[in-house]
Amino acid sequence: MALGPIEIIVLVVLSVGGVAGLLAIARRVPDDDEATLWARSRGLDPEPVVLALVRPELARTRRYRRTGAVLGFVGLPVGLLVSGNLDPVVGLVAGWAIGNVVAEAALRRRPRPGSVSAVASPRRLGQYASRHLFLLQAATVAGTLGATGWALTVEPVVVGGGGDGISDRALVSYAAGGTALAVLVVVLQRWVVARPQPVEDALALEVDDAFRSDSVHALGAAALALGGVLFAMVLRRPAEANVLNPWVDLASISLYLGSLLSTLWWANRAWAVRRPRPAGRPSVAA
């Protein structure tokens, strides 16, 4: 459809803001204080050799994540603007998650000639994140499926403009999307943990472990945020039908906001990885 003045203004603001955000990301480099805080919060000793390993990797990972977030924040509303559906937050979270995957994939973890690969003890997903994160991921899917089953028993209503409410097909697609998202995130989390881990020395191993843990938490955060949004969308049908209204509306908004807040929490979750370390250097996180 033709864009009105408001839509054009929104596009201009998003475009200018997106360009400014990308330029800021390109120039942003973590300083020593940031690297030191990051290392200490993850049980690492912030000695110069550790900071030399942390700074470039921290800058690269943040650059990919934030670039994905900015592109998602700008791109999704632009794509959906013609339909009248403007939700840049979903695009921001999705783009940020994709940026995290790209950051991980772009890191080539290949053992150097003569180096040893850290496969002496199998790495498990539970060593890189709190079990509560994985329980919340599973609970989000279970809640979405349960809410979908309940919402299917509620007749869709005619909304403003004469259009039909949320259809059965839409509800099923939300549930299927939430389930597929959860499975995909777990697969990606296991992939992050299972990637080759060359051991040049104990310090490099500890730093690499810390960044893997960050990637696992970032993916879990995205799953909670996007899964919570789908959960809230399922609850829209009972809300439109005035079933338990306004409590359903309140629950829907709370789930939506709560899912986004969980992203901020889990994305910045500092976690000291629990796994055996190579002989010769005790773990500072122990």
pLDDT tier for residue 116 given thresholds of 50, 70 and 90: very low
Residue with more model confidence, 251 or 66? 66
Q: Percent of the chain scored above 90 by pLDDT?
A: 4
CA distances to 33, 123, 148, 193 from 119, in Å:
33, 8, 43, 11
119 pLDDT exceeds 80?
A: no
pLDDT in tens, 42-98: 888 888 988 988 888 888 888 887 777 777 666 665 655 555 554 555 666 677 677
Among candidate residues 285, 137, 121, 282, the one with its CA nearest the CA of residue 210? 285
Give the pLDDT of residue 101. 76
Measured distance between the N- and C-terminal CA atoms of the chain, rounded to whole angstroms: 60
Region of poorest pLDDT, from 34-48, 88-102, 247-261, 263-277? 247-261
Residue with more model confidence, 138 or 73? 138
Give the max Cα distance, the chain. 72
Residue with more model confidence, 87 or 154? 154
pLDDT tier for residue 18 given thresholds of 50, 70 and 90: low
Q: What's the mean per-residue pLDDT of the chain?
A: 72
117 beta partners: 198
Single pTM value for the model: 0.73
Among candidate residues 139, 212, 230, the one with its CA nearest the CA of residue 176? 230
CA distances to 83, 146, 176, 181, 235 from 165, in Å:
16, 20, 19, 25, 12
Among candidate residues 211, 239, 223, the one with its CA nearest the CA of residue 61? 211
Give the pLDDT of residue 114. 46
Burial class (CB in 10 A: 0-12, 13-18, 19+), 81: middle
Q: Break the chain into its structural domains and give their ranges.
A: 1-108, 122-286
Q: Percent of the chain scored above 70 by pLDDT?
A: 55
